Amino acid sequence: MKKLLAFLILAAVLSSTIIPIKAETNLAIYVCDGGNGDGTSPSSPVGTLEKVYELIFERSNVKNDPSASATIVICGKLNVADHFNYDGKISHKGEVTFTSAYGVNDFRISADARLVVHAASKEALSINDEHRFVLGGPTRFENLTLDRGGKTNAPLTIYASTSFFAGESFEVVNTNWNLNYIEPARALTASEIDSIVLSAHRGFQPEGPENTVLSFEAAGKHGFDYIETDVLMTEDGELVCIHDSTLDRTTNGSGRVHAMTYAEILQYRINTAAYGFDIPSTDPSKLYVPTFREYLEICKKYGAKPFIELKSVGKDVIKKTIDTALEYFAPEDIVISSSSLSLLQISYNLNRDIFCHLIWGDQTDAGYEKSIISLSEMTNSSGKVNAGIAFNIQGLSDPANFDRAKVWIDKAKAASLLTCLRAADDMSEIRKMFDLGIDYYPTNITSPEKLSKLGVEKKAEYTYTPSDGGKLFIRGGRRSESTSDDISITLLGGLFDFVAPSNAEAASSGNYSVTIGGNAFVSRLVMGETCNHGTNIESSSLIVTENATIKELYVAGDHAYTENVTIEIQGGRVEKLIHSRNKGGSAGNLKLILTATDLLPQNIDISHSNVITGQKTLLLYGETPSDTSAWDIVEIIPPETEPADETAPLPESAPAPDNKPSIDNTNKKTPFELSKRIIATVVLITVFMLVIIKIAISHQKRNRNVFYKKTYKKVKKGIDKSKKL
């Protein structure tokens, strides 16, 4: 029996190392405001995050075991109005996941679940500071909405002590930025692109000041269908091309056009500085207010049609304008435009075959209705409607604006009117205009050559605009104490004002690894140390991928020294790459890796030799950029070489994202790891049972032998007695 007991004790000890008796392997704690339960179900939630972590540490090995995990299920609204874990006492080595989707339940839908981290002001916090939310260890945010509350919020900083992962299913609302989603669009065919009719508004202004010989000639050379201008009459009866009724804004002179002779106007020159640019090699003799005839001659020379806007002018000016235009063009090739329906009516009565275009007019629903009716009555000599209307509806990426534009364009088309919108200056807007079916496209800056971009299939795009919500920062390290741990931050969703793998209060001297992907947005990202008593760092790396956006990316930290900085841009957009925030930090070697030429940051300023002291290397898959002067080493890999895969795995220090939102993420073990445990357990149990069977058999044999011996003795004793008798 002693041997049997010993074997049983040994088996129990061995099996306990594989199957923990106390710790729950699939631990989930439910939490929401007002909860006073045990956290085991949505109907029995706890009420605070502090209580959640208390239960996690009681019921699992997350505190000390890096392989352990637990899930915090936010099953309703959970308000955090004060600092969380400010002193850093909550600490764990295993991974904790925050989510509102668990099992078959998505509490974001059924209970408007969200984590509301909001303090009305710094003074409202128990410690008068910006709002601090300190994570205790490796943490994931999945299927979670973080609500920053209202515009009076104190800024919120989330601290990632070792690693932090925010999946694409992580959403931030009421923050300091708004996200606008631009849907993907198919590539237009060559014939569809050719069908787009462009009108150069006041000429092609990127290459010349408005309404000048320079801008008119530039429009003609670029092949615009129409060149638009504004016409006024001088005191001596000369028609001139100028937008304003005075010279003050566009020239270095002053005075009202109708009160000056053309000779007096010619004394002055176009003030190019007023347009925000200068034309260094321009013949100064062309910088004057041109006559209407000069404009018509340029249109005729380049095969462009005149698009003529009339402002507050009398019938005599209208008649002279039309008569002069008819000297150069047939009436069906001339457009007279105005924001005044009455001026268009005068033009129509003078010549029915000239196309009349209304610029917005009365910009109300009732006004648009009235304009459509009036314009539809303007028919040419063939009896066809010969008029069009522009609607002042912009921002078509907003579905509400797009839908409103579609309503009015459809109504205008039903009345046989041609249509346009203001203004075709952005490729995304032009693509939306094409989908709406407008007939002509007035533009300030889009040339016919640029339209070729519409022949490329457009991916989904995200744009960001400032808002008045609460600011959100992500910082690495431990707020209350220095650390030498490596820091990993992965953001695939969310809107952030500031991100850094270090913090301003305690030094983080390990290596840094940051990934910005999905549709995450970061206004400012600092790659180095931001603590003023920090120490030097060996390496800091960044991957930018998918549709992510970084507005300002700083190579060096605010303090200390980073020996090697590697930035790999596989997708998304980095708008500015800057050496530092000029606070004393520095970096050694910088390596920028790009998978395509068009991923090069729009603005690069890395020339400060006291900040970036080592080699600056550009490694590019694609064509050589036009300017490589900022780089010491430039390595160009031809386009035919296979570029880095945009879906390449993230750095080992960063958790790999799961493209499919995981609703039940309680068990972090892989199938292979589980199989190993199961096999080991089965083997141990089998050995244990064999040992017990063997002991039983041996025990049975021993008992049988004893029985036989006793029986033999009895029989022998009986035989001996018989012999004596």
3-state SS, residue 208: coil
Residue 677 one-letter amino acid: R
Angle between helix 315-326 and 292-302 (nearest 10): 30
601 φ/ψ sector (left φ>0, alpha ψ -120 to 50, else beta)? beta
Q: Convert 253-307 into a string of H (helix), E (strand) and C (coil).
A: CCCEHHHCCHHHHCCCCECHHHHCCCCCCCCHHHCCCCEHHHHHHHHHHHCCEEE
- Rounded to an integer, what is the distance from CA 228 to the centroid of its chain? 37
Residue 389, phi then psi, degrees to nearest 5:
-145, 140
- Paired with 388 in beta bridges are 357, 418
Buried b (16+ CB within 10 A) or exposed e, 461-488: bbebeeeebbbbbbbbbbbbeebebbbb
Nearest CA-CA partner of 84 in 25, 125, 28 = 125
Confirm if 77 and 32 have CB atoms less than 8 A apart.
yes
Q: How far apart are the first and last CA of the chain?
A: 45
Q: How far apart are CA 365 and CA 613, in angstroms?
A: 62
Burial category of 392 from C-beta neighbours within 10 Å (exposed 0-12, middle 13-18, buried 19 and up): middle
Q: For residue 357, which of 386, 382, 387, 377 has the smallest C-alpha distance? A: 387
What count of other Cβ atoms lies within 10 Å of the Cβ of residue 639? Answer: 11
559 is an active site residue: no
DSSP 429-474: HHHHHHHHT-S-EEESS--GGGGGGGGSPBPPEEEEEE-SSB-EEE
Residue type, 546: E
Dist. CA 490–CA 164, nearest whole Å = 6
Active site residue 92: no
3-state secondary structure 212-247: CHHHHHHHHHHCCCEEEEEEEECCCCCEEECCCCEC
Q: Which of 92, 118, 201, 559 is catalytic?
A: 201
Chain centroid to CA 411: 36
139-141 and 95-99 as β-strands: parallel, antiparallel, unpaired? Answer: parallel
Residues with Cβ within 8 Å of residue 81, at least 6 apart in sequence:
118, 119, 124
Output the CA torsion 105→111→112→114 (10° steps): -70
Rounded Cα gap, residues 251 and 289, in angstroms:
8
Whether 80 contacts 49, CB under 8 Å: yes
Give the Cβ contact number of residue 287 at 10 Å: 20
Which residues belong to the active site? 201, 243
